[in-house]
Structure 1
Amino acid sequence: MPNRFYISFLRLPLLIRILFIALLVFLLFGIFIHLAEPKTFPSIFDGIWWAIITGTTVGYGDYVPHSLIGRFIALVLILLGAGIVSSYFGTLAAAAVTKQDALLEGKIQFKGKCHIIIIGWNERSRELTDKIIRSNTPQMIVLIDETLEANPVHSKFVHFVQGKGHVDETIMKSNITEAEKVLITADRGNDELQADMNSILTLLTIKGLCAEVKCIVEILTAEQVINAYRAGADEVIQSNKLTSVFMINSLHSNGDGLLSDFVHQLQESRLSACTIKEEEIGKSILEVCHQLLNEGNLLIGIKRGEETLLNPPHSIKIEKNDLLLIFK
């Protein structure tokens, strides 16, 4: 039994072990000084109080041993207690520094809920992270990247996890089961096909661990879009296709930069698909548009099944399962 208790004690964290030893020392010396000088220390509690005050070198002076044996006990306690207390606070400080370093280096598991996971650190994820944490209602972000050695964003809203996105251990550190959404960005350091393969592999890992979480994937090659959807992507962003749209618009425009201005305004607004209200069913697009304008929202189209209608004819009637595409 004593051997089993000793083994269990050794398995405790070092900080807990030192604390137990310190409490035991204060308890024993409190009992010793009470037995040595019962008149000066009328109760064991008074002895323990004196032992704590003396061992921590505070020294109030409300209790002072007068006998030779009492002073000898005090001398041993000062030498022993000061070492134990110093060890405790030194270990406590070292543990705090170690944990802070581990948090900065991405080795600590995230334990929050309803967060956004961004995989891959690049200029796109940098700008996205900056906009989220600077918004009026910032949301917690878990950033996963294998190339970074420390958290690149000094914000309480960004938790960094160092590791590969397609490794189960790394994904589990992000608390994937409690995440709201996952954004997988393409690694442009590789060739486009290899970058898409890595993104799809990461997507498969995430969906294997938590099939319910919504995943948005950046794909560079058009041929891999179908594979991303097969792997379980809820939404695919074809960044190269979006870039080509900008280039074509610039070539055909007179240098007015209207599309760039539109996108800049889009950064300050939010495009969302809203379900219709019961009273809006059967109304025309024009009627619903006027109603939304009065509420400060702009209707730009509707989504009907798999079809998206931008700037639809005003005479179209709203149907039950339509989604309204609005700028807020």
Structure 2
Amino acid sequence: MKSNRIFIAWLRWPLYLRIAIIICFLLLFFGQLIVLLEPKQYHTIFDGIWWALITVSTVGYGDFVPQTMPGQVAGMALIFIGASFVTAYFATLAAAVFSKQHHYVEGKVAFKGKGHLIIVGWNEKTNKLLQSFQTIDPAMPIVLIDDSLKEGPLLENVHFIKGHGTEDVTLRKANITGADALMITADQHENEVTADMQSVLTLLAAKGLNPSLYCLIEILTDRYVKNAERAGANQVIHTSDAVNHLMVEHFLIKEQLTAFKKKRHMTLHKHVTIIPVPASLAGETFLTALHHFLEHHVIIVGVQKKEGPMMNPPFGYELHPEDELISL
């Protein structure tokens, strides 16, 4: 029974490790054997092991060559037995490396680092987030958790874990206890209510494993905002409110500027007016226009383009002849 347990334990070792042990045993055995058979040719055990290694690897330097028939028979036996094990060892080692790399791409390898950011869910928002973080800090370690991807995105410093964010085993693979922050995005493959339920469950699972973890969560519906706050979210991003606010705000700006354009010489409360781009400023940057009009005590706050207003444009924005300036 004891020998059976030892044999079972031996079979549980990695195959390449077992083959390496067998090769080492063969080198030691034949290294000692050749010293016994040809003591004049092989003076030390190291000489014998060196000959066995060069022989079994089929390199054949020729610095040690058996001179007697027993020594030559031992060399033949070593070649027949050992060469197959060496070939099997390198083949197994290459297969293990390939399998490890394949498991990494498939998201089956656990993350061992600390101080990293975990993002749950893959969608276009996540893609933009990863690009933004790589611009801000290319060295920032990021772990992406997702169950829909077959292979992780090939992005530098992004470690992919395949699985569901609500499962403890998945979060532990992402080393949730050593993470610095967690971002949970809404599942794009589910309806809004189901997506919010999964997001809150993911938050509860993460907080259960790491109560001090800083968590940001995206919520789509009103009813789950409070639930996310109760679950311990440090910041709740209510997507519908943010989008509605931006759309209404830009629509109102568009309506106001449309009225200004119809009555170019009239102002609203005598504060806002539309000014055509002077010919001298066409092709210049928005910053140049700011300086130009400040000298005339006029403040430029935006650009009215054909497709709509652009408030507070970048200083490097190039003015076009058809543009108009929104001024105070």
TM-score band (shorter)? 0.7 to 0.9
Rounded to whole Å, the distance in 1 between the matches of 2:7 and 2:194 is: 55
Q: Give 3-state SS (helix, strand or coil) of 2:145's partner.
A: strand
Q: Which amino acid aligns with 1:58?
A: V
Q: Deviations over 1:207-263 (max 9, x none)?
A: 11111111100011122111100011111001111111221122111321327x58x
Contact 1:118 1:182 in 2 (8 A): yes
Cα distance, 1:16 vs structure 2: 1.1
Q: Give 3-state SS (helix, strand or coil) of 1:182's partner.
A: strand
Query: Which sections of structure 1, spanning at least 5 residues, go unmatched?
Result: 266-328
Rounded to whole Å, the distance in 1 between the matches of 2:12 and 2:190 is: 46
Aligned to 2:86: 85
Rounded to whole Å, the distance in 2 between the matches of 1:11 and 1:145 is: 31
Q: Deviations over 1:102-155 (max 9, x none)?
A: 000000100001100000000101000011123345311100011000012x12
Rounded to whole Å, the distance in 2 between the matches of 1:101 and 1:51 is: 35
Aligned to 1:135: 136
Aligned to 2:178: 178
Rounded to whole Å, the distance in 1 between the matches of 2:194 and 2:70 is: 79
Cα distance, 1:9 vs structure 2: 2.6
Aligned to 1:115: 116
Q: Give 3-state SS (helix, strand or coil) of 1:139's partner.
A: coil
Aligned to 1:215: 215
Rounded to whole Å, the distance in 1 between the matches of 2:90 and 2:12 is: 20
Rounded to whole Å, the distance in 2 between the matches of 1:8 and 1:169 is: 26
Contact 1:132 1:138 in 2 (8 A): no
Q: Which amino acid aligns with 1:238?
A: H
Q: Which amino acid aligns with 2:110?
A: Q
Q: Aligned in 2, Cα 1:183/1:136: closer, same or farther, shift over 3 Å?
A: closer
Q: Which amino acid aligns with 2:232?
A: G
1:55 counterpart = 2:108: no
Q: Deviations over 1:2-46 (max 9, x none)?
A: 555444333322111110000000110011111000000011111
Rounded to whole Å, the distance in 2 between the matches of 1:221 and 1:257 is: 30
Cα distance, 1:166 vs structure 2: 0.5
Q: Deviations over 1:163-205 (max 9, x none)?
A: 1110111111100000000000011332211111111011111
Aligned to 1:36: 37
Q: Aligned in 2, Cα 1:118/1:61: closer, same or farther, shift over 3 Å?
A: same
Contact 1:104 1:151 in 2 (8 A): yes
Rg larger in structure: 2
Q: Following superposition of structure 1 onto structure 2, how do residues 267-278 of structure 1 map, counting pairs within 5 Å? A: none
Rounded to whole Å, the distance in 2 between the matches of 1:201 and 1:134 is: 31
Aligned to 1:251: 251
Q: Which amino acid aligns with 2:193?
A: L
Q: Give 3-state SS (helix, strand or coil) of 2:143's partner.
A: strand
User: TM-score, normalised on structure 1?
Assistant: 0.76
Contact 1:203 1:215 in 2 (8 A): yes
State the superposition RMSD in angstroms: 1.7
Q: Quote the sequence identity (%).
A: 45
Aligned to 2:233: 233
Q: Following superposition of structure 1 onto structure 2, how do residues 190-209 of structure 1 map, counting pairs within 5 Å? A: 190-209=190-209
Q: Aligned in 2, Cα 1:7/1:221: closer, same or farther, shift over 3 Å?
A: closer
Rounded to whole Å, the distance in 1 between the matches of 2:99 and 2:244 is: 48
Rounded to whole Å, the distance in 2 between the matches of 1:121 and 1:137 is: 19
Rounded to whole Å, the distance in 2 between the matches of 1:157 and 1:151 is: 12
Q: Which amino acid aligns with 2:69?
A: L
Q: Deviations over 1:253-284 (max 9, x none)?
A: 1321327x58xx9xxxxxxxxxxxxxxxxxxx
Query: Which sections of structure 2, spanning at least 5 residues, go unmatched?
Result: 258-307, 318-328
Q: Which amino acid aligns with 2:251?
A: L
Q: Following superposition of structure 1 onto structure 2, how do residues 86-101 of structure 1 map, counting pairs within 5 Å? A: 86-101=87-102
